[in-house]
Structure 1
């Protein structure tokens, strides 16, 4: 077979079949002949060597010259499977310097980013990134019908209403859809009082006006909204009237609420056999059970799980989230780790909410003014609730 003058002849090896040969050809600018049994095509012209080397480096298909004994022909390198459009990401297609880093969430880093026009863009710290990840979990899409989440306890004074408010605020603050908390406590509930500027309307008014609710505008006249966009439907302040709130009344409220909200929280009473509780549990998608840190409070919360299991609600109990709420300041002599360990053996997850003096006053709660550990705990609870609903 005739070859060109000054032909460079090299043999590709099994470990390096092409790169060394191609680089030599690109350097010499001369035709390259490869021995017959080498693992690359018979011959590669020097003017295409750089293209083949690039293909070998990047994994992209390329065309190479192959001079068979019968004459020159052009053939394609083996093609990989067709790629989906999703693989055309910024990270793959843009030069490293052209990829825009996300704007920091941390206030000081954001200010620095703003005043320098983005020239200085410091990455958020680990804690900030973790909070952003939790917020994304809370904001996950919920398809289909409204979901119902009762918040329960067998004992008053453990912070059930507080937990309902914190959970609702954490959900509403991170989600794009609507969240409502319904006070179904027959013993003069105080949920609306934890939210500034009550509307003056109650669950009883909503039931009475049900045939006049034709849109969210009508619904919004019956609720109180806070800074996080959480809507709260208050119970009657007269305990005698509140006690008359029945199973059918709760179902009527739920039927209206499901048209305008993706998530409906219910602050239940402490009476587990009260008529409203039956409807509440029938509609429940996820349970939150609140325990204090004392021995009797932990026992009552555990007995609530036992009652649920004994009354055909075993799946709800198993998938429940227990909140251990520390209402009082100072150190407790109870081994909270042991309390948590007990509940972890019975439910899906456990969340601790630390003592916060801003909550202990009993006044309206401003979510963004709470201590960071309190907000972190509320957001973790909210993320777990959303994940349980989506499971």
Structure 2
């Protein structure tokens, strides 16, 4: 992300980029809405009612999503967490994020939701996890309602194969409406065959144009052209200084993905090794992620 910044541009989401239309995700954002989700504490939301309605749209069946960075440092893990927090805070069904990318700055380290067991233990004991109460031993719960299956520093996760990913998404689909996967580079090819949706993440930098182009080429060359065409591109860390680079990346993506969403620069999200506190985010950041979540649910909901 840029080392220097100015005040960010307003959040912008663009659906069906080839048509040049905009979702209007910033209209009416000053209105407050209280959202009551199933069994959860009412959530105070400053999202516009139109975005809240889209976030809460029912899904006909459980869905799994892969969040994939187009290049290193794009903000893949932060985006996965923010999608999870946003959906969990507004939806009635359960949402789980799975850390499949062990390391010191992984998803497990950036959420205050610890469970007694890890992903490795969940897969080893999958046959015994036949009720939600059993699942709770493997999934910590954040204040937003997002549940997290953690990995921490377990190197075994890097060896998971296609069967493991299929077993994992099948198991979690029995308890959660939405499953988010945050895979390491070595796991992407194994995760994509079992996903229902794809979120691509690019940084608001000079590298974004090349990274998006190469990612699209890789997806098309490996049989994922349909998944690419229905994907959402997130451009992270947008500021006035980076608009030229952002425009260049969007020109590559326009007409080749389902939607493009800009996320403004936020110091809180840009701090590595820091647990994300949704309440500490700027209003523009919350609005942008609300628009992203609404577009995402729209791609997964029945036509």
Deviation at 1:333, TM superposition (A): 7.5
Match in the other structure for 1:386: 297
Deviations 1:173-232 (A, max 9, x none): 110000111112266661122111422422101011212212111111111211110111
Listed as ranges, the matches of 1:217-232 within 5 Å are 217-232=133-148
How far the C-alpha of 1:353 sits from its partner, in A, is 0.9
**Equivalent pair of 2:99/2:181 in contact (CA under 8 Å):** yes
Distance verdict in 2 for CA 1:175–1:380, change over 3 Å: same
For residue 48 of structure 2, what is the aligned residue in structure 1? Answer: 131
Report the secondary structure of 1:335's partner residue. Answer: helix
Shift of 1:292: 0.7
Aligned equivalent of 2:151, options 217, 235, 241? 235
Contact 2:113 2:148 in 1 (8 A): no
CA contact (8 A) 1:189 1:234 kept: no
Residue pair 2:212, 2:253 contacting (<8 A) in 1 also = no
Where does residue 206 of structure 2 map in the other structure? 295
Quote the residue 2:241 is aligned against: 331
| 1:376 and 2:293 matched | no
1:160 to 64, 70, 76: 76
Q: Secondary structure at 2:57's aligned position in 1? A: coil
The answer for the alignment partner of 2:9 in structure 1 is none
From 164, 169, 188, the equivalent of 1:254 is 169
What residue number does 2:264 align with? 354
Q: RMSD over aligned Cα, in angstroms?
A: 2.4
Give the alignment of 1:1-391 within 5 angstroms. Answer: 106=32, 131-143=48-60, 145-185=61-101, 190-238=106-154, 240-269=155-184, 271=185, 274=186, 276-326=187-237, 331-332=241-242, 334-362=244-272, 363-390=274-301, 391=303
Contact preservation (8 Å) 1:184, 1:266: yes
CA contact (8 A) 2:106 2:152 kept: no
Q: Which SS does the other structure have where 1:326 is aligned?
A: strand
The 8 Å contact of residues 165 and 194 in structure 2, kept in 1 or not, is answered as no
Structure 1 gap ranges (5+): 1-103, 111-126
Shift of 1:245: 2.6
Q: Which has the higher contact order (CA 8 A, sep 6+)?
A: 2
Q: Secondary structure at the match of 2:261?
A: strand
> Does the CA-based 8 Å contact 1:247-1:279 persist in structure 2?
yes
Once residues 155 and 246 of structure 1 are traced to their aligned partners in structure 2, the CA distance between those partners, rounded to angstroms, is 23
Give deviations 1:231-284, integer Å, cap 9, x for gaps: 11112413x333223322222211210100111111122x2xx3x333321122
User: 1:342, CA displacement in angstroms?
Assistant: 2.6
Count matched residues: 262
